[in-house]
Amino acid sequence: MSSDNDTSNSPTWGPLRSFGRIKSRTLKPRQAALFDTLLPTLAVPDPNAGPIDPQALMPGAKEVWLEIGFGGGEHLAAQAARHPDTLMIGCEPFLNGVGSALRHIEDGALKNVRLHADDARDVMKALPDASLDRVMILFPDPWHKARHNKRRLIQDESAAEIARLLKPGGRLRFVTDWKDYAEWALERLERTPGLEWTADRAADWKTAPEDHVVTRYEEKKLGDTEPLFLEFVRV
């Protein structure tokens, strides 16, 4: 895996890491315990072992949603509670975030969440075509420095992979509070065959959708703009 100072031109949809730290503070005792007790019961099968069948993860699920980089898990858990018949697959490499999500899942007695405590791209590659109803990417690492832009999650290759995974009519929601990343993502998503931007006017990307869940990260207002919401549909 390349270091953060790598200035090569290798594509992001490959060995380059699109996320930052894996762990910061020591896990709280309850969260550490949940890694041993709860996580094994809802972990996504090893994507390197073969294809992943979403229906095998939750038989009878009416829809399948994927959240890439769920942070502390507040949004993932809230959406899972609102949609108990929907399988929620969440991917997050930051172990403290996984620990937080496990706590939310236990507190809510949620049965429709499956987690991958690592790079989402591995799971995406293992999922079949047209297997997802929604993909959600909220506040991904912006990788500000120009030489690090290649590490951004949204690249032409990842956008094409999202289009492959979405069912016809399926939707992608990308949210960022950095103007340059919104422009970067919009440029790549708009030129991806099969994806169509749903916005008609500025309010469509400046106003939070009705089902949006505000997270602790969003409340910190660390970006250079109010959150921008890019919604795409698979056509």
pTM: 0.89
Side-chain half-sphere of 98: how many Cα atoms within 13 Å? 29
Helices 95-107 + 74-82 axis angle, to 10: 30
20-24 long-range CB contacts below 8 Å, 24 or more apart? 20/94, 20/141, 21/94, 22/93, 22/94, 22/95, 23/94, 23/95, 23/96, 24/94, 24/96
- pLDDT band, very low/low/confident/very high, at 22 (cuts 50, 70, 90): low
Interacting residues of 156 by C-beta distance below 8 A, sequence separation 6+: 188, 191, 192
What pLDDT score does 230 carry?
98
Q: Which of 125, 113, 114, 104 is nearest to 48 (CA)?
A: 125
113-116 β-sheet, strand order: 113-116, 86-91, 63-68, 132-138, 166-176, 228-234, 195-197
Give the tens place of pLDDT for each residue, 126-166.
999 999 999 999 999 998 888 878 989 999 999 999 999 99
Q: Which of 185, 178, 176, 181 is nearest to 208 (CA)?
A: 176
134 strand-pairing partners: 65, 171
Q: Residues 79-99: what's their mean pLDDT?
A: 96
Amino acid at 128: P
What pLDDT score does 7 carry?
33
166 strand-pairing partners: 132
Answer yes or no: are the C-beta atoms of 54 and 88 closer than 8 Å.
Answer: no
Domains and CATH numbers, the chain: 29-234 (3.40.50.150)
Complete DSSP assignment for 90-119: EE---HHHHHHHHHHHHHTT-SSEEEESS-
pLDDT above 70 (res 5): no
- pLDDT band, very low/low/confident/very high, at 21 (cuts 50, 70, 90): very low
Catalytic positions are 141
Q: Which of 231, 44, 15, 18 is nearest to 127 (CA)?
A: 44
Say how many residues make up the chain: 235
